[in-house]
Structure 1
Amino acid sequence: MELAQVRLLVTDFAACYRFYADVLGLKPQSGAENGPYEKFSPTVGSAGIALQDRVAMAGLLGELGDSVAGHRSLVVLRVDDLDAYCAQLTERGATLLHGPAPMTERMRVAHLKDPEGNLVEIQEWQLLLT
C-alpha cells in the first residue's frame, strides 16, 4: 500500500486553488482552476495535496444532506488489487460506504470512514491499453 495523497474537501475551490498554486507555489497537475478536482505536487516527493469540491464528494457518497459541511479531508491510499483489499477490509469489520466502483476512466475507488468519521479512499489505478 502507498500513501497517494491527502485530499482536502473544499467549498471555495478557486480560492483554495490559488492559495496552493500561487501562495505555496505547488505545481498543479492539470490546471483545473475551477475544479472539481486538482492535485498539486511538491518539488520533492511523490505524494501530493489534492483539492476536491466538497459537494461533488458528498454526492458520490450519497451524503448530500447536512454532512456536506462536515467532511473536510480524506486520506487516500493506493493498492494494486482493490477488490481483494476491500474483501480483506470487510473481513476485518470495516463497512464500505461506496465501491469498489469506477471514479474515472482509469481509477476505481472505495470509501469508508474511520472510527472518528474521517473519510478514507482506497484507490486502484488501471493501465490504459492502446
Structure 2
Amino acid sequence: MELTHTRLLVDNYKECFLFYRDVLGFEVSWGDEETLYADFKFSGCTLGLFERKQMLEAIGAESVSYIHKSDRIALIFKVDTVEEKYKELKEKVEFITKPTAQEGWGIKVAHFRDPDGSLIEIYESIG
C-alpha cells in the first residue's frame, strides 16, 4: 500500500479551505472553497480537506454517532486493487464498508479503522 493522502475531516470546510490556501499559502491541486473537498499537493503526499458530513455519507449512516464524536483525520492508501486488498485484510480488520465504486470520484474504496479507531481508506482509480 502507498500512503497518498492525509485527509482532514472538518466541520467548517470553507473557512478551513481559505485558511490552508490563503493563510498558510498551500497550493491547491484540486477543488475550491465550494467543492467540500480539496487537495493541497506536496512533494510525495497530498493533504486532503473534506467536509466531515460527506465522509459520513461515504462510510454509511450506521457510523453517524461515531464520526461526529471522533473522526478528524483519515489516512488514505492507494492499492493495486481494492478487491484484492479487501480479501487479504478482511480476516485481520473489521471493514466499515465493502469495496464500493464511487463513480463521481473515479475511485473504488473500502474503509476500516486501526486499533485506536483512526479511519483508514484504501482506494484504486477506476475508469
* Length-normalised TM-score, structure 1: 0.87
* 1:40 match: 40
Distance 1:85 1:31, change over 3 A: closer
- In structure 1, C-alpha distance between the alignment counterparts of 2:76 and 2:67, rounded to whole Å: 20
Mapping of 1:31-70 within 5 angstroms?
31-42=31-42, 45-61=43-59, 62=61, 63-65=63-65, 67-70=67-70
Structure 2 stretches lacking a partner, 5+ long: none
Counterpart of 2:83, as a letter, is D
* 1:80 match: 80
Task: Answer whether contact 2:5 2:45 (CA < 8 A) is retained.
Answer: yes
> What percent of counterpart residues are identical?
30
Instruction: List, as ranges, runs of 4+ consecutive aligned residues in structure 1 with deviation greater than 3 Å.
Output: none
Query: In the TM superposition, what whole-angstrom CA distance separates every residue of 1:31-85 from its partner, at most 9, and x where no partner exists?
Result: 321232111112xx13110011101111222222353242100100000111011
Task: Answer whether contact 1:74 1:121 (CA < 8 A) is retained.
Answer: yes
* 2:22 match: 22
Task: Answer whether contact 1:35 1:53 (CA < 8 A) is retained.
Answer: no
Structure 1 stretches lacking a partner, 5+ long: none
> In angstroms, what is the RMSD of aligned CA positions?
1.5
Greater Cα shift, 107-116 or 95-104: 95-104
Counterpart of 1:118, as a letter, is S
Secondary structure at the counterpart of residue 64 of structure 2: coil
Number of equivalenced pairs: 124
Task: Answer whether contact 2:9 2:73 (CA < 8 A) is retained.
Answer: yes
